[in-house]
């Protein structure tokens, strides 16, 4: 069962990271277009700023699972380095529970925001509703929950390995 969960987690976290990279590309292209249209063509595009903002929001929420999986989100570095295996495992559980509570809160509130703004349109992109913006929170939190579980089952602490 552990291997199945870790396989699913690896695929979902990889997919979330790929989508986060895609959102960075979209934000970069929209930002570049915004600069060209504003300063070269002198006709600013109202949709480009909104596109940059929302793609960056999506990029952050889709990148969080990778940070959780690498053990880079919540840790007590000094205590973790100086402790024995039993205390490290206890710290893994404390970190797991704190991260779980945080992501469940973001999932719940994100769903609530998404649901309440389902009829509100995005200024500059009137054909889309705010659901597209706020749904980054519950989607990112759902991916993060799998990464948090993967971190508990197969702990990685990349930030400790590369710390100076």
CA–CA distance from 15 to each of 12, 19, 89, 94 (Å)? 5, 6, 28, 27
Q: Are 45 and 33 in contact (CB under 8 A)?
A: yes
Distance CA 60, CA 46 (A): 23
Q: What is the pLDDT of residue 24?
A: 97
In this prediction the pTM is 0.86
Count of CB atoms within 10 A of residue 133's CB?
20
Q: pLDDT tens per residue, the chain (164 residues)?
A: 888 989 999 999 999 999 999 999 999 999 999 999 999 988 988 888 899 999 999 999 999 999 988 877 666 666 777 778 888 888 888 889 999 999 999 999 999 999 998 898 888 777 888 898 899 999 999 999 999 999 989 887 766 555 55
- The pLDDT score that the predictor gives to residue 162 is 57
What count of other Cβ atoms lies within 10 Å of the Cβ of residue 158? Answer: 12
pLDDT at position 33 is 95
Token pair of 114, please?
């998404």
SS3 155: coil
The CA–CA distances, whole Å, from 82 to 48, 56, 79, 91 equal: 49, 37, 5, 12
Q: Residue 23's pLDDT is what?
A: 97
- Distance of alpha carbon 30 from its chain centroid, rounded? 20
Q: Which structure tokens are listed for 139?
A: 């989607």
Spatial contact of 75 and 157, defined as CB atoms under 8 Å apart: yes
Beta-bridge partners for 125? 122
pLDDT at 161: 57
């Amino acid at each position: 069962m552990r291997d199945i969960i870790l396989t699913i987690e690896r695929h979902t976290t990889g997919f979330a990271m790929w989508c986060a990279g895609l959102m960075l590309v979209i934000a970069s292209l929209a930002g570049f277009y915004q600069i060209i249209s504003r300063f070269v063509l002198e006709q600013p595009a109202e949709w480009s700023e909104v596109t940059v903002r929302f793609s960056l929001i999506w990029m952050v929420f889709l990148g969080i699972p990778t940070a959780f999986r690498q053990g880079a989100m919540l840790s007590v570095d000094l205590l973790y380095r100086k402790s024995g295996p039993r205390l490290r495992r206890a710290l893994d559980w404390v970190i797991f529970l704190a991260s779980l509570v945080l992501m469940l809160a973001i999932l719940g509130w994100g769903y609530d925001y998404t649901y309440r703004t389902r009829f509100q349109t995005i200024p500059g992109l009137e054909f889309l509703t705010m659901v597209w913006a706020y749904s980054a929170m519950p989607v990112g939190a759902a991916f993060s929950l799998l990464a948090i579980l993967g971190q508990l089952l197969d702990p990685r602490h990349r930030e400790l390995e590369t710390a100076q």
